[in-house]
Protein backbone atom coordinates (compact mmCIF):
# COMPACT_ATOMS: atom_id res chain seq x y z
CA UNK A 1 0.00 0.00 0.00
CA UNK A 2 1.37 3.46 -0.78
CA UNK A 3 2.25 5.63 2.16
CA UNK A 4 1.26 9.29 2.24
CA UNK A 5 2.92 11.76 4.52
CA UNK A 6 0.59 14.14 6.29
CA UNK A 7 2.14 17.58 6.49
CA UNK A 8 -0.72 19.33 8.24
CA UNK A 9 -2.45 18.21 11.42
CA UNK A 10 -6.25 18.02 11.52
CA UNK A 11 -6.24 21.18 13.65
CA UNK A 12 -4.08 23.03 11.11
CA UNK A 13 -6.38 21.96 8.29
CA UNK A 14 -9.41 23.07 10.21
CA UNK A 15 -7.91 26.48 10.93
CA UNK A 16 -7.01 27.04 7.27
CA UNK A 17 -10.46 25.97 6.07
CA UNK A 18 -12.16 28.26 8.54
CA UNK A 19 -10.06 31.31 7.52
CA UNK A 20 -10.87 30.60 3.87
CA UNK A 21 -14.57 30.31 4.67
CA UNK A 22 -14.49 33.57 6.62
CA UNK A 23 -13.05 35.35 3.58
CA UNK A 24 -15.64 34.03 1.16
CA UNK A 25 -18.75 34.61 3.26
CA UNK A 26 -21.73 35.46 1.03
CA UNK A 27 -21.60 39.02 -0.28
CA UNK A 28 -18.03 39.70 0.81
CA UNK A 29 -14.66 39.85 -0.90
CA UNK A 30 -11.12 41.16 -0.72
CA UNK A 31 -9.58 44.59 -1.18
CA UNK A 32 -6.16 44.07 -2.78
CA UNK A 33 -4.28 47.06 -1.39
CA UNK A 34 -0.85 45.56 -1.92
CA UNK A 35 -0.03 48.15 -4.57
CA UNK A 36 -1.20 51.21 -2.69
CA UNK A 37 -1.29 52.89 0.66
CA UNK A 38 -3.30 51.53 3.55
CA UNK A 39 -4.68 55.02 4.24
CA UNK A 40 -7.62 54.35 1.98
CA UNK A 41 -8.98 51.64 4.27
CA UNK A 42 -11.61 53.38 6.34
CA UNK A 43 -12.70 53.15 9.92
CA UNK A 44 -16.37 52.93 9.05
CA UNK A 45 -17.72 49.58 10.23
CA UNK A 46 -19.92 49.45 7.13
CA UNK A 47 -16.85 48.50 5.11
CA UNK A 48 -16.85 45.09 6.79
CA UNK A 49 -20.35 44.39 5.43
CA UNK A 50 -18.69 43.84 2.05
CA UNK A 51 -14.94 43.44 2.66
CA UNK A 52 -13.75 40.34 4.52
CA UNK A 53 -10.02 40.57 3.75
CA UNK A 54 -7.43 43.20 2.85
CA UNK A 55 -4.09 42.39 1.22
CA UNK A 56 -1.26 44.57 2.52
CA UNK A 57 2.41 44.59 1.54
CA UNK A 58 5.39 44.34 3.85
CA UNK A 59 5.66 48.06 4.69
CA UNK A 60 1.94 48.69 5.26
CA UNK A 61 1.65 45.45 7.23
CA UNK A 62 3.91 46.90 9.91
CA UNK A 63 2.68 50.49 9.64
CA UNK A 64 0.52 52.40 12.06
CA UNK A 65 -2.40 54.67 11.15
CA UNK A 66 -2.44 58.32 12.32
CA UNK A 67 -4.17 57.29 15.56
CA UNK A 68 -1.19 55.07 16.45
CA UNK A 69 -3.02 51.79 15.90
CA UNK A 70 -1.42 49.31 13.48
CA UNK A 71 -3.26 48.68 10.22
CA UNK A 72 -3.38 45.00 11.12
CA UNK A 73 -5.16 45.68 14.42
CA UNK A 74 -7.49 48.16 12.77
CA UNK A 75 -8.56 45.51 10.28
CA UNK A 76 -8.97 42.86 12.94
CA UNK A 77 -11.13 45.21 15.01
CA UNK A 78 -13.36 45.63 11.97
CA UNK A 79 -13.67 41.85 11.62
CA UNK A 80 -11.53 41.89 8.46
CA UNK A 81 -8.79 39.28 7.91
CA UNK A 82 -5.39 40.89 7.22
CA UNK A 83 -3.51 39.40 4.28
CA UNK A 84 0.00 39.87 2.99
CA UNK A 85 1.62 39.83 -0.45
CA UNK A 86 4.59 37.50 -0.07
CA UNK A 87 6.01 37.20 -3.56
CA UNK A 88 9.00 39.31 -4.55
CA UNK A 89 7.88 40.19 -8.03
CA UNK A 90 7.87 38.99 -11.58
CA UNK A 91 11.19 38.15 -13.30
CA UNK A 92 12.03 37.07 -16.87
CA UNK A 93 12.07 33.38 -17.72
CA UNK A 94 15.13 32.78 -19.89
CA UNK A 95 14.63 30.88 -23.12
CA UNK A 96 11.08 32.09 -23.63
CA UNK A 97 9.49 34.84 -25.72
CA UNK A 98 9.29 37.47 -22.96
CA UNK A 99 7.54 35.16 -20.50
CA UNK A 100 8.10 35.31 -16.75
CA UNK A 101 8.02 33.60 -13.41
CA UNK A 102 7.71 34.98 -9.89
CA UNK A 103 10.45 34.97 -7.26
CA UNK A 104 10.35 34.95 -3.47
CA UNK A 105 10.64 31.38 -2.16
CA UNK A 106 13.90 32.02 -0.28
CA UNK A 107 13.15 32.67 3.37
CA UNK A 108 9.42 32.39 2.70
CA UNK A 109 8.73 30.01 5.59
CA UNK A 110 10.34 32.41 8.10
CA UNK A 111 8.49 35.39 6.63
CA UNK A 112 5.16 33.52 6.74
CA UNK A 113 5.77 32.53 10.36
CA UNK A 114 6.43 36.18 11.25
CA UNK A 115 3.34 37.48 9.42
CA UNK A 116 1.23 34.81 11.10
CA UNK A 117 2.57 35.80 14.51
CA UNK A 118 1.73 39.44 13.75
CA UNK A 119 -1.88 38.64 12.80
CA UNK A 120 -2.04 37.71 9.12
CA UNK A 121 -4.57 35.06 8.09
CA UNK A 122 -3.76 34.70 4.43
CA UNK A 123 -1.16 35.42 1.78
CA UNK A 124 -1.00 36.22 -1.89
CA UNK A 125 1.50 35.32 -4.62
CA UNK A 126 0.96 36.46 -8.17
CA UNK A 127 2.17 34.70 -11.30
CA UNK A 128 1.70 36.10 -14.79
CA UNK A 129 1.03 34.24 -18.04
CA UNK A 130 0.88 35.86 -21.46
CA UNK A 131 -1.24 34.99 -24.49
CA UNK A 132 0.83 35.00 -27.69
CA UNK A 133 0.80 33.09 -30.96
CA UNK A 134 2.91 30.35 -29.34
CA UNK A 135 2.19 31.04 -25.73
CA UNK A 136 1.93 30.63 -22.91
CA UNK A 137 4.61 27.98 -23.35
CA UNK A 138 4.71 24.64 -21.55
CA UNK A 139 7.87 25.92 -19.82
CA UNK A 140 6.09 29.00 -18.43
CA UNK A 141 2.96 27.12 -17.39
CA UNK A 142 4.83 24.34 -15.61
CA UNK A 143 7.24 26.73 -13.88
CA UNK A 144 4.51 29.09 -12.67
CA UNK A 145 2.27 26.23 -11.54
CA UNK A 146 5.15 24.71 -9.60
CA UNK A 147 6.20 27.91 -7.88
CA UNK A 148 2.58 28.57 -6.89
CA UNK A 149 2.36 25.06 -5.42
CA UNK A 150 5.59 25.50 -3.43
CA UNK A 151 4.38 28.85 -2.12
CA UNK A 152 0.97 27.39 -1.20
CA UNK A 153 2.50 24.49 0.66
CA UNK A 154 4.87 26.78 2.62
CA UNK A 155 2.01 29.13 3.55
CA UNK A 156 -0.14 26.28 4.81
CA UNK A 157 2.64 24.88 6.96
CA UNK A 158 2.78 28.30 8.62
CA UNK A 159 -0.96 28.75 9.13
CA UNK A 160 -1.65 31.14 6.25
CA UNK A 161 -4.30 30.48 3.61
CA UNK A 162 -2.56 30.82 0.25
CA UNK A 163 -4.32 32.78 -2.44
CA UNK A 164 -3.13 31.15 -5.62
CA UNK A 165 -2.98 33.70 -8.42
CA UNK A 166 -2.09 32.55 -11.93
CA UNK A 167 -3.06 35.65 -13.90
CA UNK A 168 -3.50 35.36 -17.65
CA UNK A 169 -2.88 38.94 -18.81
CA UNK A 170 -5.49 40.68 -21.00
CA UNK A 171 -2.82 42.14 -23.34
CA UNK A 172 -3.42 41.19 -26.97
CA UNK A 173 -6.12 40.99 -29.63
CA UNK A 174 -7.23 37.42 -28.91
CA UNK A 175 -10.94 36.61 -28.74
CA UNK A 176 -12.96 35.30 -25.79
CA UNK A 177 -12.69 31.69 -26.94
CA UNK A 178 -8.88 31.87 -26.98
CA UNK A 179 -8.84 33.46 -23.53
CA UNK A 180 -11.05 30.63 -22.24
CA UNK A 181 -8.84 27.92 -23.69
CA UNK A 182 -5.65 29.45 -22.32
CA UNK A 183 -7.22 30.01 -18.90
CA UNK A 184 -8.32 26.36 -18.83
CA UNK A 185 -4.82 25.22 -19.72
CA UNK A 186 -3.17 27.42 -17.09
CA UNK A 187 -5.61 26.36 -14.37
CA UNK A 188 -5.17 22.69 -15.20
CA UNK A 189 -1.38 22.98 -14.85
CA UNK A 190 -1.92 24.86 -11.59
CA UNK A 191 -4.16 22.26 -9.95
CA UNK A 192 -1.99 19.36 -11.11
CA UNK A 193 0.97 21.00 -9.34
CA UNK A 194 -1.07 21.80 -6.22
CA UNK A 195 -2.15 18.17 -5.98
CA UNK A 196 1.41 16.92 -6.53
CA UNK A 197 2.56 19.12 -3.64
CA UNK A 198 -0.26 17.81 -1.41
CA UNK A 199 -1.71 21.27 -0.93
CA UNK A 200 -4.85 21.13 1.20
CA UNK A 201 -7.34 22.60 -1.25
CA UNK A 202 -10.04 23.34 1.32
CA UNK A 203 -7.57 25.76 2.88
CA UNK A 204 -6.78 27.69 -0.32
CA UNK A 205 -8.44 30.31 -2.49
CA UNK A 206 -7.98 30.80 -6.23
CA UNK A 207 -7.45 34.27 -7.66
CA UNK A 208 -7.78 33.99 -11.42
CA UNK A 209 -8.48 36.42 -14.21
CA UNK A 210 -12.06 36.50 -15.43
CA UNK A 211 -12.18 35.15 -18.97
CA UNK A 212 -12.32 38.27 -21.12
CA UNK A 213 -11.26 38.94 -24.70
CA UNK A 214 -7.89 40.62 -25.27
CA UNK A 215 -7.63 44.33 -24.59
CA UNK A 216 -7.34 45.11 -28.31
CA UNK A 217 -9.79 42.48 -29.61
CA UNK A 218 -12.16 44.08 -32.11
CA UNK A 219 -15.15 41.86 -31.27
CA UNK A 220 -17.33 42.95 -28.39
CA UNK A 221 -18.85 40.65 -25.82
CA UNK A 222 -21.57 41.02 -23.21
CA UNK A 223 -21.26 40.37 -19.49
CA UNK A 224 -23.26 37.17 -20.11
CA UNK A 225 -20.65 35.99 -22.64
CA UNK A 226 -17.87 36.68 -20.13
CA UNK A 227 -19.83 34.85 -17.43
CA UNK A 228 -20.36 31.79 -19.61
CA UNK A 229 -16.71 31.58 -20.66
CA UNK A 230 -15.48 32.13 -17.11
CA UNK A 231 -17.79 29.63 -15.40
CA UNK A 232 -17.08 27.03 -18.12
CA UNK A 233 -13.32 27.38 -17.64
CA UNK A 234 -13.65 27.05 -13.87
CA UNK A 235 -16.03 24.06 -14.07
CA UNK A 236 -13.51 22.20 -16.20
CA UNK A 237 -10.46 22.84 -14.07
CA UNK A 238 -11.11 23.93 -10.46
CA UNK A 239 -11.83 21.14 -7.96
CA UNK A 240 -15.04 21.45 -5.93
CA UNK A 241 -12.91 21.20 -2.76
CA UNK A 242 -11.69 24.76 -3.35
CA UNK A 243 -13.93 26.99 -1.20
CA UNK A 244 -13.75 30.14 -3.23
CA UNK A 245 -12.64 31.97 -6.31
CA UNK A 246 -11.70 35.60 -5.73
CA UNK A 247 -11.26 37.23 -9.11
CA UNK A 248 -8.68 39.90 -9.86
CA UNK A 249 -9.99 42.83 -11.90
CA UNK A 250 -7.16 42.79 -14.45
CA UNK A 251 -7.58 46.29 -15.87
CA UNK A 252 -11.36 46.23 -16.27
CA UNK A 253 -13.15 49.43 -15.36
CA UNK A 254 -14.73 49.46 -11.92
CA UNK A 255 -18.22 49.15 -13.39
CA UNK A 256 -17.33 46.31 -15.81
CA UNK A 257 -15.65 44.37 -13.02
CA UNK A 258 -18.81 44.67 -10.89
CA UNK A 259 -21.24 43.87 -13.73
CA UNK A 260 -19.18 40.89 -14.92
CA UNK A 261 -18.96 39.46 -11.40
CA UNK A 262 -22.70 39.80 -10.99
CA UNK A 263 -23.29 38.05 -14.34
CA UNK A 264 -20.92 35.24 -13.30
CA UNK A 265 -22.95 34.69 -10.14
CA UNK A 266 -26.21 34.80 -12.10
CA UNK A 267 -24.97 32.33 -14.70
CA UNK A 268 -26.95 29.07 -14.37
CA UNK A 269 -25.03 25.82 -13.91
CA UNK A 270 -22.71 24.09 -11.48
CA UNK A 271 -20.79 26.52 -9.29
CA UNK A 272 -19.56 24.65 -6.22
CA UNK A 273 -17.32 27.53 -5.06
CA UNK A 274 -18.04 31.03 -3.78
CA UNK A 275 -17.38 33.46 -6.63
CA UNK A 276 -16.28 36.84 -5.39
CA UNK A 277 -13.75 39.64 -5.81
CA UNK A 278 -10.18 40.42 -4.82
CA UNK A 279 -9.88 43.67 -6.68
CA UNK A 280 -7.01 46.12 -6.73
CA UNK A 281 -7.58 48.68 -9.46
CA UNK A 282 -11.38 48.11 -9.70
CA UNK A 283 -11.83 48.97 -6.02
CA UNK A 284 -9.40 51.82 -5.90
CA UNK A 285 -9.36 53.96 -8.99
CA UNK A 286 -12.25 56.22 -7.88
CA UNK A 287 -10.81 56.24 -4.37
CA UNK A 288 -7.36 57.32 -5.50
CA UNK A 289 -8.83 59.90 -7.87
CA UNK A 290 -10.94 61.41 -5.09
CA UNK A 291 -8.11 61.29 -2.56
CA UNK A 292 -5.34 62.75 -4.80
CA UNK A 293 -2.92 62.38 -1.88
CA UNK A 294 -4.61 65.18 0.12
CA UNK A 295 -5.58 64.80 3.74
CA UNK A 296 -8.73 66.89 3.31
CA UNK A 297 -10.00 64.43 0.68
CA UNK A 298 -9.71 61.30 2.80
CA UNK A 299 -13.34 61.17 3.87
CA UNK A 300 -14.72 61.59 0.34
CA UNK A 301 -12.26 58.94 -0.85
CA UNK A 302 -13.53 56.60 1.85
CA UNK A 303 -17.11 57.15 0.65
CA UNK A 304 -15.97 56.09 -2.82
CA UNK A 305 -14.48 52.93 -1.34
CA UNK A 306 -17.71 52.12 0.50
CA UNK A 307 -19.74 52.61 -2.68
CA UNK A 308 -17.58 50.30 -4.77
CA UNK A 309 -17.36 47.75 -1.97
CA UNK A 310 -21.14 47.71 -1.74
CA UNK A 311 -21.50 47.30 -5.53
CA UNK A 312 -19.08 44.36 -5.50
CA UNK A 313 -20.70 42.84 -2.42
CA UNK A 314 -23.96 42.78 -4.36
CA UNK A 315 -22.17 41.43 -7.44
CA UNK A 316 -20.85 38.55 -5.34
CA UNK A 317 -24.50 37.70 -4.65
CA UNK A 318 -25.47 38.19 -8.31
CA UNK A 319 -27.71 41.16 -7.52
CA UNK A 320 -25.75 44.13 -8.86
CA UNK A 321 -27.64 45.84 -11.66
CA UNK A 322 -25.21 48.69 -12.25
CA UNK A 323 -25.29 52.40 -11.69
CA UNK A 324 -23.50 53.00 -8.38
CA UNK A 325 -22.01 56.49 -8.65
CA UNK A 326 -18.20 56.59 -8.58
CA UNK A 327 -15.87 59.20 -9.93
CA UNK A 328 -13.91 56.77 -12.14
CA UNK A 329 -16.51 54.01 -12.63
CA UNK A 330 -16.12 53.62 -16.36
CA UNK A 331 -12.44 54.61 -16.73
CA UNK A 332 -10.28 51.82 -18.13
CA UNK A 333 -7.74 50.53 -15.63
CA UNK A 334 -5.71 48.69 -18.22
CA UNK A 335 -1.95 48.85 -17.76
CA UNK A 336 0.07 47.13 -20.51
CA UNK A 337 2.09 44.11 -19.25
CA UNK A 338 0.96 44.90 -15.71
CA UNK A 339 3.84 44.00 -13.42
CA UNK A 340 4.61 45.12 -9.92
P1 LIG B 1 -6.26 44.10 -10.03
O2 LIG B 1 -7.65 43.85 -9.49
O3 LIG B 1 -5.92 45.54 -10.19
O4 LIG B 1 -5.98 43.27 -11.26
O5 LIG B 1 -5.23 43.63 -8.93
C6 LIG B 1 -5.51 42.57 -8.17
C7 LIG B 1 -4.26 41.96 -7.77
O8 LIG B 1 -4.03 41.69 -6.62
C9 LIG B 1 -3.29 41.65 -8.84
O10 LIG B 1 -2.23 40.94 -8.33
Q: 3-class SS at 281?
A: helix
Residue 139 to residue 16: CA distance in whole angstroms: 31
Domains (ranges, CATH) in the chain?
Answer: 10-317 (3.20.20.70)
Residue 249 to residue 227: CA distance in whole angstroms: 14
pLDDT for the residue numbered 330: 79
pLDDT for the residue numbered 92: 98
Catalytic residue chosen out of the listed positions 207, 228, 304, 314: 207
Closest residue CA from atom 10 of ligand 1: 126
Whether 248 is in the pocket of ligand 1, judged by its Cβ within 6 Å, is yes
Residue 57 to residue 60: CA distance in whole angstroms: 6
Q: Which of 87, 250, 335 to mutate for ligand 1's pocket (most ligand atoms within 8 Å of CB)?
A: 250
Residue 26 to residue 271: CA distance in whole angstroms: 14
Whether 233 is in the pocket of ligand 1, judged by its Cβ within 6 Å, is no
Q: Which of 30, 33, 35 to mutate for ligand 1's pocket (most ligand atoms within 8 Å of CB)?
A: 35
Closest of 110, 70, 81, 87 to residue 35, by C-alpha: 87
pLDDT for the residue numbered 324: 86
Whether 166 is in the pocket of ligand 1, judged by its Cβ within 6 Å, is no
Any idea what DSSP says for residue 56? E
- For residue range 39-86, list pLDDT tens digits in order: 566 667 899 999 999 999 999 999 988 789 999 999 999 999 999 999
Determine contact, residues 81/22, Cβ cutoff 8 Å: yes
Strands (E), the chain: 29-32, 51-56, 81-85, 90-92, 100-102, 122-129, 161-168, 205-206, 244-247, 274-279
Whether 29 is in the pocket of ligand 1, judged by its Cβ within 6 Å, is no
What average pLDDT does range 11-26 have in this prediction?
Answer: 98
- 33 C-alpha to ligand 1 centroid (Å): 9
- For residue range 150-166, list pLDDT tens digits in order: 999 999 999 999 999 99
- For residue range 179-234, list pLDDT tens digits in order: 999 999 999 999 999 999 999 999 999 999 999 999 999 999 999 999 999 999 99
Whether 279 is in the pocket of ligand 1, judged by its Cβ within 6 Å, is yes
- 101 C-alpha to ligand 1 centroid (Å): 17
- 163 C-alpha to ligand 1 centroid (Å): 12
Active site residue 114: no
pTM for this prediction: 0.96
For residue 282, the ligand 1 atom closest to its alpha carbon is 2
Cα three-residue angle 24-310-276, rounded to 5 degrees: 30
Catalytic residue chosen out of the listed positions 165, 167, 184, 310: 165
Any idea what DSSP says for residue 292? T
- 294 C-alpha to ligand 1 centroid (Å): 24
Cα three-residue angle 319-284-177, rounded to 5 degrees: 60
Conformation bin of residue 27: beta by default, left when phi > 0, alpha when psi is -120 to 50 = left
Active site residue 271: no
pLDDT for the residue numbered 102: 98
Q: In DSSP terms, which residues pair with 70 in a beta bridge?
A: 64
Work out whether the CA dihedral 72, 74, 76, 79 comes out positive or negative: negative
The pLDDT-based confidence of 118 (bands split at 50, 70, 90) is: very high
Whether 281 is in the pocket of ligand 1, judged by its Cβ within 6 Å, is yes
Amino acid sequence: MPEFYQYLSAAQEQELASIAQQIVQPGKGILAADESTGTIVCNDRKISDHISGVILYHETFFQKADDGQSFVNKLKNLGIVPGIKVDKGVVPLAGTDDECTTQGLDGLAERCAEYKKEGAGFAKWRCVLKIKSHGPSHQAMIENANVLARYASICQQNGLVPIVEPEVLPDGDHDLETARQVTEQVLSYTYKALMEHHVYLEGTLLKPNMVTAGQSCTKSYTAKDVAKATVTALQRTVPAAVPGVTFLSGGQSEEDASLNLSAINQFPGKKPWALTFSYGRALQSSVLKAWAGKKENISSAQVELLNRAEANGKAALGTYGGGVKSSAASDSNFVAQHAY
